[in-house]
């Protein structure tokens, strides 16, 4: 049995980003945000092994777009 790993990371907007396995441990992860004060939590985004590299690439492309002149 694998240990349960949960990552919580605060960002500059006073939000907490949470990344963890799906409860079924079916090869997917769930990714969601919640406000630091606990006032709101988003629905989970479920990402599988094939989708993750595409998502990372697109996030990098968008960040490059918004940070370059």
The reply to whether the predicted model has a pTM over 0.85 is: no
Cα–Cα distances in angstroms (integers) from residue 44 to residues 1, 21, 67, 69, in the given order: 24, 11, 27, 33
Structural tokens at position 2: 């694998």
Going from the C-alpha of 3 to that of each of 7, 25, 47, 64, 69, the distances in angstroms are: 13, 11, 19, 35, 44
Domain locations in the chain?
7-67
The tens place of each residue's pLDDT in the chain, 69 residues long, gives: 788 999 999 999 999 999 999 988 898 999 999 999 989 999 999 999 999 999 999 999 999 999 998
Task: Count Cα atoms within 13 angstroms, Cβ side, for 19.
Answer: 7
The per-residue pLDDT for 1 is 74
């Amino acid at each position: 049995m694998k240990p349960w790993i949960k990552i919580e990371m605060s960002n500059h907007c006073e939000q907490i980003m949470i990344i963890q396995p799906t409860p079924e441990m079916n090869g997917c992860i769930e990714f969601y945000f919640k406000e630091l004060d606990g006032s709101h939590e988003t629905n989970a985004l479920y990402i599988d092994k094939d989708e993750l590299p595409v998502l990372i690439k697109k996030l990098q492309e968008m960040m490059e777009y918004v940070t370059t002149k």
